[in-house]
Amino acid sequence: MPDLVRSTLWLSFFGVILVAWWIMYAMAMEMDLDLIGRPGPAGQAMAAMDPRMPMDMPMARFGPLFSMWAIMMAAMMLPTMVPTLMTYERLIVSADGTRSGWLGVLLGYFVVWVAFAALIAGLQQALLFGGVTDMLGIAPLWLSAVLLIVVGAFQFTRAKEVCHGVCHAPMTYFLGHWRTGFAGGLRMGLGLGAFCVGCCWGFMVLGFVGGVMSLLWMGLATLLMIFEKLPQIGHHVVKPTGILLIVGGIAVAFV
């Protein structure tokens, strides 16, 4: 029975990820976007719409934007949590961890990212109605350059080092903040989620560079965040990524 419960939980976990990716793909197709977020005729018409016009477009309302970002968080961030959940599983065997605690960690982590989804949805709406981005969330070249350079520079900061250290070695966090049961797992999940947002917020903001509906950006950012959390190579990825982002920002600035 324990093996059946474990298998069911893991299959459900990966099922949620697949459904989230399918929804994002379906949304992109419905908006007439290709995999890199470039609009076709219908998408171009949507992007060109003036947000100040009296209209009822989903991408101009907070509710649909928040829903989109929340689904995007599930698609992008849940895969990066696999090492953390596997680490907790080891504590089920060696300590007094439980399956309910495992679920609590997962829920707490995702709650924090849903809160971040609300924040960045509000940011996108502000940029849209401020005339900075278009309806598809694509920033002008000057802002894209700034975002690339800022996020690249953040890779070299102490804040990134601290937050990445927790994400990269969740066992240390668990041992220092151990709580039992579902409530304990939820509390630890909230803490882990907060550190993860501190570590990875920049990759989410980079969605405005190519458009927040770019499936290519979503895929690359997800892979990069997974690589950063892998125990064997995580520390070797952070600074080279920062260099590439800064170089990319400088290149965009001179386009």
pTM of whole model > 0.85?
yes
Q: Summarize pLDDT for 119-167 with one digit per residue, the tens.
A: 999 999 999 888 888 877 888 999 999 999 999 999 999 999 999 999 9
Mean pLDDT of 37-63: 60
Helical H segments across 130-236, by residue range: 141-154, 158-168, 170-176, 181-205, 207-210, 215-229
114: exposed, middle or buried (Cβ count in 10 Å: 0-12, 13-18, 19+)? middle
- pLDDT confidence of residue 43: 52
Tokens (6 digits) for 213: 């509906």
Q: Summarize pLDDT for 70-123 with one digit per residue, the tens.
A: 999 999 999 999 999 999 999 988 888 889 999 999 999 999 999 999 999 999
- pLDDT confidence of residue 55: 47
pLDDT at 243 over 60: yes
